[in-house]
Chain A
Amino acid sequence: MPIGVPAVPASVASTETLKRDFEGVYAECWTPVFRLALAWTNDWPAAEEIAQESFARLWARRDSVDWSEPMLPWLLTTARHLATDRFRRLRRLIGQSRAIEAALDLDQHARWLDVRAAFARLSPLERAALALTAVSGLASEEAATTLGITSAAVRSAVFRARRKLEEA
């Protein structure tokens, strides 16, 4: 499972350089990371939490990260693991009510509830494959690396997802 961060034995970067590098990755990668988490969970607040936690883990490893490498693959894989972890946490903290999606106005929130219901017919894997390919534009091989499955499985999941949405 690809979960390492590209590492270099480089000297410790300066404070400002680290901060600039991190903020650049943060701004560039937030949306695809959030989208994968949203696809996996179908839960807006949980997806934001998972996306933030993914970046937190990257920040925790800032000193060993080669910031010249693309960070998105690692962030996506981390988000996927954290999304799975979320269900494990559900075992011990159950029934916790969540805030209404603050990022959306009332009309958007109503639309989101409708879209979420349609996407609830899909499995998390199908939603994730769809989000990575049809929405974020990854090739099936790249999505396969992120999801830890074969590219054929990605294409199959996307096919099933589209078929279910047709019927939704």
Chain B
Amino acid sequence: MNGQPTDDRGNNADRRIGEWADLSAMSRPPAARPEVLRARVEVAVAEQRQPRRSVPGLAMALVVVVVVAGVGFAVSRQRSVVEPSASASAAASESEPPGPSASPSPQVTLPGDDVLDIGRIDARSGWAYVLSPESSKLGVPILLMTDDVGATWRDATPPQQADFQPIIEFVDADHGWVLDADGPLWRTTDGGRSWQETALPTGRTGSSAAMSFVSASTGYLLLSANSDKDPEPWVLYRTEDGGASLQRVGAVTLPDEPALSGPLPMVAFSDPSSGVVAGWKVVLQTDDGGAHWSTVSLPATKGSAAPRYAGVSLLRAFGPQLVLLALIGGPTTPYEPTAYVSADAGRTWRPAYAWSAESATVWAIVDGQTWLDFTTAAGPMYMEATSDAGDKWTTSTGAGPADRHIMAVSFVSSTDGWAIFQVDSTCPAGAFCAMQLPAGQLAETHDGGVTWQLVP
């Protein structure tokens, strides 16, 4: 690499490229903080000298194959994937998972400040996507599940761990799916104690995908193409056997490069026939299981011009009631998050609420009527709640853990929920803040978010 822009700046493109190169070269790497690195290495080495607790999910380590080609290299993970046929469906490939009668998963300690994402499934069950506390796997994300409201946790990581945040969906405490950027689709029928694998159709990837299950058996996957030359960038697949096989429904036309240009598309089905795809710059609705789609228009909020829908932040279906948190505006102006609600499976929508783009708000959609949102800045935590789909709101002040801000929430009722609280800190000037990714500590509430207790 020469690290230099082209010298020929005789035209506008070259001039712009040169400016971009000059400015981007001004970013300096923060100095590595030796005491932090050294401490981590010493801990790791010390623990490697001692017998390590075995965790089955982690023991299935990834095997990498290195292919060196010229100055670069390509690396791929070995996997037992059965390539689907060229037909329109993808077949399942069983990966010899341990059955439910296998030895129970050992309990795992929930890592303190390394919770990346959470999901409450019902009053007792839930999952947490966390960074492994194992020293040799520091920074590697794993999936933990609880059956006792967080009192104990077990490793429920699919055999092939995801390097990047996958899509995780459970319709009940037993039936769930995990879709990684590289695929395949993992499915469980026993709450993550065993996993079965379904290869994605040839040419399709789980990167930028969307998933919606209406029951333990029926669901939809919106999969993007592996290649930008593919004439069908997005294709919808349907499963009626819990994900064991995927049947092609058809291509879904979305504006160019939605996966790369902004928020990823989301899909939500009210029932096996009616559903919505909220993509980049467009919202589509179907009443025939995805065979045909109609473009949906989102009305403006009171006193504002026609909304410039940019993308989706959240889309959930509760039968015919749908909730869409849309991002209005961008890309050069801040996104104005606006909530829309539909009572007819996404055919028509009404605006329910709009937020200031300057606030960092997290949402909990309990059902089609009951929503909560939480905002923390430098001071207290502000909460808003509605029980009538946004017609009336109550505002109150909550008390989260000191010196932390709320970064994600998941509620199973208007009172009971989880949140991730991240430490309020900024990276010191010149420091290498290696673990600055959005992660925090799990907390629970039983009073609608007024008070929170950290889950140890």
Residues of A within 8 A of B (CB): 1-7, 12, 15, 18-19, 22-23, 26-27, 30-32, 34-35, 38, 40, 42, 44, 47-49, 51-53, 55-57, 59-63, 69-70, 73-74, 78, 81-82, 84-85, 87-97, 103-104, 108, 111-112, 115, 117-120, 123-125, 130-131, 134-138, 141-142, 145, 148-150, 152-153, 157, 161-163, 165-168
Contact (Cβ within 8 A) B164 A125: no
Contact (Cβ within 8 A) A6 B45: no
Please name all residues of chain A whose beta carbon is closer than 8 Å to the beta carbon of B228 when the two chains form the complex. 125, 149, 153, 157
Per a CB cutoff under 8 Å, which of B20, B75, B205, B325 touches A119? B20
Please name all residues of chain A whose beta carbon is closer than 8 Å to the beta carbon of B163 when the two chains form the complex. 3, 57, 78, 81
Per a CB cutoff under 8 Å, which of A3, A6, A104 touches B73? A6
A-B contact pairs, 14 of them (CB 8 A): A6-B64, A32-B1, A34-B29, A51-B29, A52-B434, A61-B140, A85-B165, A94-B325, A119-B20, A124-B260, A141-B70, A145-B74, A148-B226, A165-B16
**Residue B358 at the A interface, CB < 8 A?**
yes
Closest 10 CB pairs of A and B: A60-B139, A4-B64, A30-B29, A4-B75, A165-B13, A56-B434, A137-B2, A96-B360, A137-B1, A124-B260
**Closest chain A residue to B136 by CB distance?**
A63
A168 to chain B, nearest CB (A): 6
Per-residue interface assignment for chain B, residues 158 to 185, with 1 indicating a CB less than 8 Å from any chain A CB and 0 otherwise: 0000011100000000000000011000
Per a CB cutoff under 8 Å, which of A32, A94, A131, A153 touches B361? A94
Per a CB cutoff under 8 Å, which of A81, A88, A95, A142 touches B335? A95
Please, how many angstroms separate the alpha-carbon atoms of A134 and B11 in the complex?
Answer: 14
Please, how many angstroms separate the alpha-carbon atoms of A38 and B19 in the complex?
Answer: 14
Please, how many angstroms separate the alpha-carbon atoms of A150 and B230 in the complex?
Answer: 12
| A4 in contact with B77 given A32-B3, A103-B26, A162-B13 (CB within 8 Å) | yes
Please name all residues of chain A whose beta carbon is closer than 8 Å to the beta carbon of B72 when the two chains form the complex. 70, 73, 141-142, 145
Contact (Cβ within 8 A) B3 A137: yes
**Residue B108 at the A interface, CB < 8 A?**
no
A141 to chain B, nearest CB (A): 8
Contact (Cβ within 8 A) A34 B140: no
Per a CB cutoff under 8 Å, which of A69, A123, A150 touches B66? A69
Contact (Cβ within 8 A) A19 B41: yes
Please name all residues of chain A whose beta carbon is closer than 8 Å to the beta carbon of B29 when the two chains form the complex. 26-27, 30-31, 34, 51
Contact (Cβ within 8 A) B361 A5: no
Please, how many angstroms separate the alpha-carbon atoms of A95 and B339 in the complex?
Answer: 14
Contact (Cβ within 8 A) B361 A137: no
**Residue B397 at the A interface, CB < 8 A?**
no
Contact (Cβ within 8 A) B75 A94: no
Contact (Cβ within 8 A) A74 B433: no
**Residue B71 at the A interface, CB < 8 A?**
yes
**Residue B294 at the A interface, CB < 8 A?**
no
B375 to chain A, nearest CB (A): 9
Per a CB cutoff under 8 Å, which of B207, B229, B312, B436 touches A49? B436
Please name all residues of chain B whose beta carbon is closer than 8 Å to the beta carbon of A125 when the two chains form the complex. 228, 257, 260
Please name all residues of chain A whose beta carbon is closer than 8 Å to the beta carbon of B359 when the two chains form the complex. 95
Contact (Cβ within 8 A) A166 B181: no
Per-residue interface assignment for chain B, residues 33 to 60, with 1 indicating a CB less than 8 Å from any chain A CB and 0 otherwise: 0100110111011001000000000000
